[in-house]
């Protein structure tokens, strides 16, 4: 039986870097953001262009053009999600099936909007990547094209970090540095694999980092 852990965290928390740490240690990782990029360059592009004319270039979705039509527009955002989410979930199901067939013991589902899309019940445990609010804001505001209004708009669509922390099985505070985060990732992997019993189940009790 394969244990699937959800990996999530609000914008600017260091989730992508943490996901790579799991890969570096040989853990299979499904990346929903990478899936969206692939869909924007392929299957989803004509569907999005139909609903949001002028959002593509050369047969691929141009994120900057699309953002102008959906950011700050709740109705437009929901329409976009109704197009993209089913395709992303199918890709996730394909990943799950492949991991299970290969007999993988542990796999990570890197899903930024895990809580927001109500998918926490579809994983065996949840890893929340976190950092103090001031660290998060500094990271996000340093990104090209980011401003305060856009940052706040993104935050409003995400479950607050404080709530995510409460619902986490494991916490990784990336403000403590890369070396600490790597050690925490290694620790989580070992704990999960050790907790798998003879029937292939794992202990789902909250094991969040007490120092986080």
Tens digits of per-residue pLDDT, 117-144? Answer: 888 999 999 999 999 999 999 999 999 9
Given this model, what pLDDT does residue 38 score? Answer: 94
CA gap 13, 196 in Å, rounded: 29
Q: How far apart are CA 181 and CA 18, in angstroms?
A: 7
- Residue 42 Cα to chain centre, angstroms: 21
pLDDT of residue 157: 86
* 175-182 contacts, C-beta under 8 A, 24 or more apart: 175/131, 175/132, 175/135, 178/17, 181/14, 181/17, 181/18, 181/21, 182/21
Of 182, 197, 203, which Cα lies nearest the Cα of 27? Answer: 182
Q: How confident is the model at residue 212 (pLDDT cuts 50, 70, 90)?
A: very low
Residue 96 corresponds to which tokens in the numbers above? 């799950």
Domains of the chain with CATH codes: 3-195 (3.40.50.300)
**What per-residue confidence (pLDDT) applies to 136?**
96
| Residues in Cβ contact with 120 at an 8 Å cutoff, skipping those fewer than 6 apart | 6, 114, 126, 167
Q: What is the pLDDT of residues 97-112, one digit of tens each?
A: 999 999 999 999 999 8
- Evaluate if residue 177 carries a pLDDT over 60: yes
CA distance 196 to 105: 9
Tokens in use for 19?
């996901």
Task: Order the strands of the 170-173 sheet from edge to edge.
Answer: 28-31, 106-110, 3-8, 125-130, 170-173
Q: Is the pLDDT at 197 greater than 70, yes or no?
A: no
Mean pLDDT lowest among 13-17, 104-108, 172-176, 199-203: 199-203
Please report the pLDDT score of residue 196 as a whole number. 72
């Amino acid at each position: 039986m394969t244990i699937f852990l959800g990996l999530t965290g609000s914008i600017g928390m260091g989730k992508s870097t943490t996901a790579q740490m799991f890969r570096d240690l040989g853990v299979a990782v499904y990346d929903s953001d990478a899936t969206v990029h692939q869909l924007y360059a392929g299957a989803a592009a004509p569907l999005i262009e139909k609903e949001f004319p002028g959002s593509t270039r050369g047969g691929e979705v141009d994120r900057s053009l699309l953002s102008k039509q959906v950011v700050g527009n709740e109705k437009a955002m929901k329409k976009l999600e109704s197009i993209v989410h089913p395709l992303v979930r199918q890709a996730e199901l394909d990943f799950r099936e492949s991991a299970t067939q290969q007999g993988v013991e542990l796999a990570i589902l890197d899903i930024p909007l895990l809580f927001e899309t109500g998918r926490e019940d579809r994983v065996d445990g949840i890893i929340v990547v976190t950092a103090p609010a001031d660290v998060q804001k500094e990271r996000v505001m340093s990104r090209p094209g980011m401003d305060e209004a856009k940052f706040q708009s993104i935050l409003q669509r995400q479950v607050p970090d404080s709530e995510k922390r409460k619902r986490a099985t494991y916490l990784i505070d990336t403000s403590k540095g890369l070396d600490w985060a790597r050690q925490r990732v290694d620790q989580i992997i070992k704990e999960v694999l050790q907790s798998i019993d003879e029937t292939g189940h794992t202990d789902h009790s909250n094991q969040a980092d007490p120092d986080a």
